[in-house]
Amino acid sequence: MTQKFRSDFLNVLSARGFIHQGSDLAALDAAAASGPITAYVGYDCTADSLHVGHLLSIMMLRWAQKTGHRPIALMGGGTTKVGDPSGRDEGRQLLSDDTIAANMSSIKRVFRNYLTFGGGKTDAVMVNNAEWLEKLEYIAFLREVGRHFSVNRMLSFDSVKLRLEREQPLSFIEFNYMIMQAYDFLELNRRYGCTLQMGGSDQWGNIVNGVELCRRVDQREVFALTCPLLTTASGAKMGKTAAGAVWLNAERLSAFDFWQYWRNAEDADVGKFLRLFTELDLSEIERLEKLGGAEINEAKKILADEVTKLCHGELEAAKMKLAATLAFSRDTTSNVDLAAQPAIPRISLKKHDVHIEVDSKLTLIDSLTLLQFSSSKSDARRLIKEGGVKLNDTTISEEMYAITKKDFDQNNIAKISAGKKRIGLIINDWE
């Protein structure tokens, strides 16, 4: 049952399913109802793109801004050098300063699509926690901050306890992560008046540490708010596919594949995903999630359109919808028509790659992995063996099938289908 609040901010988050845990929601609601508050979410720079798993917290920042509050996107330039042990059986590989900087630069681009940055009262701010973490003097930090943390309590948090229970090593540097995250909250409160940290439910312990640190050191009242960790209706982890993570940067995952991910959502997830990842009115979402049979596919297309608009822009979303409509139309569509849609995944064969006319060096397995329709060659073999792969609409069951000139049409194009939801092209440009 949706909880009613005074503030638009918490009412929106509650109605759309974002709230999992909160510290003193009544006091947070009163603060948010009385004027603009500042809220932050932290993102470590362990890869050059965020993924769908981060979208929940990004949307929370977006709704904070849309309801009159100031969001802070905190880049973990400092904490990435330590590594968050939450949800991991082993330590993260320590990255070089150059890699962290490159990852941060790439990640930043995504936020421009979700938040409005500037100098206004509710304009978003982007901050790098290396600004203060790298200046800390270790002994002074231990005396001023470390003394407020009980090792007994730190050992009770899931991020530490699970690693120890599984007898997996937990390095001393990782053990410090939760203290550093708590210190981020203290610094953001001092510098920006930030009174709310948000994140996934796996971060609850780390966030509460920051709430307590602000109270003990500066006697400041601040708040914690977490969103649920999502799984799909079938129990799969949200944002994972056979080919890997669903990345937000187009360089890591094409806008076409991103659109397709949402178009292929399970029927039971459509309403939930529309609430969390789009800004459609709740009344319209209620109508869409009641659709049954083939009509639910129209709701899925709307879901894909709306999520892709936010992440990649309205023009890209329109292009992806058109490309997908052509690729999966029941009407006969020529391969030339498909090739005219740059969004459709393709392999372009050049002279230096393979001489397809005389001596094929390209197998169907290679094609599936190059198109990222399978995560590995063994996964591609399984897909072929199970009858899930078609070449020019003909099912291929031969695991080591080699593609030759006869597989291309008069325009030197071949179409590969993996299951019912993925289509790619091989374009033979050899001359």
Q: What SS3 class is residue 219?
A: coil
Closest CA to 198 of 311, 69, 49: 69
Segment of 148-152, 216-220, 249-253 carrying the highest mean pLDDT: 216-220
Q: What share of the chain is helix, strand, coil (3-state, %, to 5)?
A: 45, 15, 40
194 or 405, higher pLDDT: 194
So what's the pLDDT on residue 358?
A: 45
Average pLDDT over all residues of the chain = 85
Rounded-to-integer distance, Cα 82 and Cα 180, Å: 9
In this predicted structure, the answer to whether residue 40 has a pLDDT above a threshold of 60 is: yes
Rounded-to-integer distance, Cα 195 and Cα 186, Å: 9
88 or 234, higher pLDDT: 234
So what's the pLDDT on residue 352?
A: 44
Rounded-to-integer distance, Cα 249 and Cα 255, Å: 9
Rounded-to-integer distance, Cα 108 and Cα 64, Å: 19
Closest CA to 298 of 314, 331, 274: 274
Which option is the CATH number for 8-227: 3.20.10.10, 1.10.10.10, 3.40.50.1820, 3.40.50.620?
3.40.50.620
| Arithmetic mean of pLDDT, 228-239 | 81
In this predicted structure, the answer to whether residue 328 has a pLDDT above a threshold of 70 is: no
8 Å CB contact between 151 and 164: no
8 Å CB contact between 293 and 323: no
Burial 317-344 (b: 16+ CB within 10 A, else e): bebbbebbebbeeeeebebeebbebebb
Rounded-to-integer distance, Cα 167 and Cα 128, Å: 34
Which residues, listed in sequence order, are joined to residue 418 by a DSSP beta bridge? 389, 422
Banded model confidence at residue 288, pLDDT cuts 50, 70, 90: very high
Q: Which two tokens stand for residue 366?
A: 């290679």
| Arithmetic mean of pLDDT, 6-30 | 96
Question: Residue ranges of the domains in the chain?
Answer: 8-227, 254-327, 343-428
| CA atoms lying within 13 Å on the CB side of residue 406 | 2
> Which contacts (CB < 8 Å, 24+ apart) does range 331-335 have?
335/409, 335/411, 335/413, 335/414, 335/415, 335/425
So what's the pLDDT on residue 141?
A: 73
Largest CA distance in the chain: 77
Q: Which two tokens stand for residue 414?
A: 């071949």
So what's the pLDDT on residue 110?
A: 92
φ, ψ for residue 87, nearest 5 deg: 70, 20
Rounded-to-integer distance, Cα 301 and Cα 313, Å: 16
Rounded-to-integer distance, Cα 22 and Cα 250, Å: 34
Q: Which pLDDT tens digit goes with each residue over 90-139? A: 555 778 899 999 999 999 999 999 999 998 999 999 999 999 988 887 65
Q: Which two tokens stand for residue 383?
A: 């897909």
Question: Percent of the chain beyond pLDDT 70?
Answer: 83
φ, ψ for residue 267, nearest 5 deg: -50, -45
- Sequence-ordered list of residues with C-beta below 8 angstroms from that of 154, at least 6 positions apart, any chain: 160, 175, 178
8 Å CB contact between 14 and 2: yes
In this predicted structure, the answer to whether residue 332 has a pLDDT above a threshold of 70 is: no
Range 254-327 classified under CATH 2.30.30.90: no
192 or 158, higher pLDDT: 192
| CA atoms lying within 13 Å on the CB side of residue 208 | 13
Q: DSSP secondary-structure letter at 397?
A: -
Range 343-428 classified under CATH 3.10.290.10: yes
8 Å CB contact between 178 and 109: no
In this predicted structure, the answer to whether residue 231 has a pLDDT above a threshold of 90 is: no
So what's the pLDDT on residue 327?
A: 67
Q: Which pLDDT tens digit goes with each residue over 333-378? A: 567 677 777 778 888 776 445 544 445 577 888 888 888 888 788 8
Q: Which two tokens stand for residue 102?
A: 């490159």
Rounded-to-integer distance, Cα 115 and Cα 352, Å: 44
- Sequence-ordered list of residues with C-beta below 8 angstroms from that of 80, at least 6 positions apart, any chain: 44, 45, 46, 95, 100, 103
Name the least confident of 154-163, 179-188, 215-224, 361-370: 154-163
So what's the pLDDT on residue 408?
A: 85
Q: Which two tokens stand for residue 105?
A: 């630069």
In this predicted structure, the answer to whether residue 198 has a pLDDT above a threshold of 80 is: yes
In this predicted structure, the answer to whether residue 400 has a pLDDT above a threshold of 90 is: no
Rounded-to-integer distance, Cα 304 and Cα 318, Å: 10
